[in-house]
Amino acid sequence: MTKVKEHWRIATKAIHGFGGGDAATGAISLPIYQTSTYQFRDSQHGADLFNGEADGYIYSRISNPTVDAFQREIACLEGGEAAQALGSGMAASFNAIMTDCKSGDSYISSETVYGGTHALTDHVMPRFGVTGIEVDFTDLNVVEDAIKKAKNPKVLFFETPANPTLAILDIKALAELGHKHGLTVVVDNTFATPILQRPLEYGVDVVMHSATKYIGGHGDVVAGCVVGKQEYIDRLRNDVYIDTGATMAPLNAWLLLRGLKTLPIRMKAHCENAMKIAQFLVFHPKVKVVHYPGLSSNTGHELAKRQMSGFGGMIAFEIDGGFEEGKKLMDAVELAKVAVSLGDCDTLVCHPASTTHSTYEKTVREKAGIKDNLIRLSVGIEDPADIMDDLNQALRVL
């Protein structure tokens, strides 16, 4: 076992932050504890585990050693006291919001979020009597107005960089605003990862991820997690998670632990490639606008420089044309894979208006900056020249 040191740099934490392998055998690669249940020593031991007088494992929906290791690792990387692993990013968003919202309460969400998160606000939460209000988070006055008008507001929720527009939001200012009104501030840190941005350091209460993306990194896991204070994670577990059961499988926790070991070097490669591709797209005659926080022309550039240590691997760009041209471009790429999801080693490209963000009503989508001609590119870690060649030949069809 490894004694984790607070002062370690992030790349060391990514490898050792969970505290090392298996204490029982010395195995450096932690075993996949592929078990649903655990044998009690006797009936009193079982009773003690249930009434909290003994520590240990009961049932893998409640906890599992491989999943616990992933939780320690992601908490270490985000700089949080504790974490809860979940079966998906959507489960993470739902659990994070429901920890502080019950029927009759409301939350304020950024209007530019992943399409599934918008759908959660638009038609799932109302079924629980919880109202989600989506507004433009780039304007703090608009956010404050929404908080003041909301009935029993409890949570402020946002993504930065945002899916799919890459809009950058001011984490510190929004955390202060949320706290001024007594709200729990939750940030979806999926696009940045803890390698590039650690929102807890800017005062937010809770960070969540779709671990399906960069954390896993290889397109082979669907998973999520929530990181925060121990007191918050205890409430999330006891009030929502345990009895709704969006559990992470032990194999997935193991894949994520493996993915995290290379997250720092993968993010470096994603950032370098994305910067090159963004600079190439800026000068392409078929591209009208490139949204990449690394470009000095981007409205979020200065803010991104303050709160991120790199600009990430996601790019959005507007092509010359509309909905049909967007789809046409998708049909012309050869190396890039036309797919939803993001953060894989492979370059993935999608047309948000017809896929990931089709959950939005058209006018709401356009107000959120997700136009018909917007293309989202998850830049992989292939040779950037090959990605450029592919985009170049595909853009020629427009």
Tell me which of 65, 80, 116, 194 binds ligand LCS, using CB under 6 A: 116
Q: Which residues of 94-113 are buried (b: 16+ CB within 10 A; e: fewer)?
A: bbbbbbbbeeebbbbbbbbb
Query: How many angstroms separate the CA atoms of 309 and 197, rounded?
Result: 7
Task: Decide: is 338 part of the binding site for ligand LCS (CB under 6 A).
Answer: no
Give the residue carrying structure tokens 């490894």: 2
Tell me which of 90, 125, 196, 253 binds ligand LCS, using CB under 6 A: 90
Range in contact with ligand LCS (rule: CB under 6 A) among 193-201, 248-256, 320-328, 339-347 = 339-347
Quick one: which of 97, 85, 198 has its CA closest to 153? 97
Task: Decide: is 190 part of the binding site for ligand LCS (CB under 6 A).
Answer: yes
The residue among 160 and 273 lying less far from ligand LCS, judged by its C-beta, is 160
Task: Decide: is 165 part of the binding site for ligand LCS (CB under 6 A).
Answer: no
Burial of residue 366 (number of CB atoms within 10 Å: 0-12, 13-18, 19+): middle
Q: Which of residues 224-243 bind ligand LCS (CB under 6 A)?
A: 224
Structure tokens that stand for 155 in this block = 């949570």
The residue among 75 and 226 lying less far from ligand LCS, judged by its C-beta, is 226
Shortest distance in whole angstroms from residue 46 CB to ligand LCS: 34
Query: How many angstroms separate the CA atoms of 332 and 396, rounded?
Result: 9
User: Kind of pairing, strands 206-210 and 224-228?
Assistant: antiparallel
Q: Which residues of 180-218 are buried (b: 16+ CB within 10 A; e: fewer)?
A: eeebbbbbbbbbbbbbbbbbbebebbbbbbbbbbbbbbe
Contact 109, 120 (CB under 8 A): no
Task: Decide: is 188 part of the binding site for ligand LCS (CB under 6 A).
Answer: yes
386 a catalytic residue: no
Residue nearest to ligand LCS (CB): 89
Tell me which of 70, 107, 114, 360 binds ligand LCS, using CB under 6 A: 114
- Of 33, 114, 232, 360, which one is the catalytic site residue? 114
213 a catalytic residue: yes
3-class DSSP state for residue 293?
coil
The residue among 64 and 163 lying less far from ligand LCS, judged by its C-beta, is 163
Query: How many angstroms separate the CA atoms of 353 and 374, rounded?
Result: 7
Task: Decide: is 160 part of the binding site for ligand LCS (CB under 6 A).
Answer: no
Shortest distance in whole angstroms from residue 376 CB to ligand LCS: 7
Range in contact with ligand LCS (rule: CB under 6 A) among 77-85, 134-142, 287-295, 340-348 = 340-348
Enumerate binding residues for ligand LCS (CB under 6 A): 88-90, 93, 114, 116-117, 159, 163, 188, 190, 210, 212, 222, 224, 340-342, 356
